[in-house]
Structure 1
Amino acid sequence: MTALATGRFADVPLVLLDLDGTIVDSGPGILEALSHAFARCGEPLPPPAVLRTFIGPPLEDSFCGTLGLGRERAEQLRIAYSAYYQQHGLLSAVPYPGMPELIGALVAEGRTVAVATNKPETSARTLLAHQGLAEAFALIGGTDRAAGREGKAAVIGSVLERLGATADRRTPSGIDVVPAVMIGDRLHDAEGAAEHALPTVLVDWGYGGVVERAVDLPRAHSVEALGAMLRG
């Protein structure tokens, strides 16, 4: 029986963690920066329920897909958002209770723990260093527009490659092995992992909504429950 079927991942060597809505509660800072960006660009501010869905996925996808804006207008909003967020919102994110302890326990057990986030990689490193968590991770992976690394699938692929986790997934006896599991709060986390044939656990303390609740994937209702799934 596979780890995905049992919802138990204690034997999976590499744990990939999303950042926003999984490790840290970054919502207030992101929502404030979004409000600033819409005002700065003269765009009507979407309702709070819509803005909440923007936390996690690439902002351009939300601006274009959810709001129907053109790419040029979406880029203007992104630039206004990023300028404000880097100065005022980035370091306001705080870890969810229990997550630093769970990460530390996994590392102490010899597991490899890495970050795979849609946040720019430099921003993710700055935030986690500010919270004193950066040293716990084997790699902090994020987007890099200059390198053409955008979207969760590209980030996960980059993390796997840099950690050398893209080798043959079969044992000498021909048994399939699961090299990594993705932990996130939004559907795009699962979709990105699926492109690399990796399982996903969705957490309930982040920013998932109706779409996430409708999918048939392993779920962790609390940090303690996630720990039980990852540690056995």
Structure 2
Amino acid sequence: MNPSLRLPLPDRTAAGRELADGLAHLRGRDDLLVLALPRGGVPVADEVARALQAPLDLMLVRKLGVPGNREVAMGAIASGGVMVENPRVMDYLCGLPGMARRMQQVIDEERAELARRERAYRGDRPWPDLRGRCVILVDDGLATGATMRAAIEAVRAQQPACIVVAVPVAPPDTVADLRGLVDEVVVPHQPEPFMAIGQWYRDFGQVPDEAVREILGRHWQQAG
């Protein structure tokens, strides 16, 4: 798609509206389900779901950051016990003295946070049935893609009809890697060199839990 916005993107809401334009060909399908990766992906997915008139739900994923440098991903975990590793990073870390214990500590911390967010966001609401659905996975951007790969594996295990990855911005090599894993990848902006996701937004403030619950509550109430 030809992007309508210039980098840096104004904020997640504007990025979501532009992203929805790139997904317009899916509007009208009755099997659509938009899954947001919280927390940053929720405002983006809110705009996508509204534009496509599709239900919105969550795919909970936590990046596993390298001990001492948590911005670098050594892998990710997702709902359902799925774990995806970044092999190059993992192999390097496993060769460092004392690193195995620190890596396990990160994994344990992120599993606990994943469980906390499940309770905070979903409460008693059941997980949606993905069988036969066209699932659109939405985040506010990708770097290594480890988080999204964990989400893809978690969704694929539930036998959807198709999987679409949609994010406003990501590096070209990550986009190329994901194209072989899903049915479609929609990324309006693919700058090089990439660095961090936040550099491509003017407003990249943290999305609070309250905002996530408000957006989800609005969609769930409309869905009945």
Of Structure 1 and Structure 2, which has the larger fraction of its residues in helix? 1
TM-score, length of structure 2 as denominator length = 0.38
Of Structure 1 and Structure 2, which has the larger fraction of its residues in strand? 2
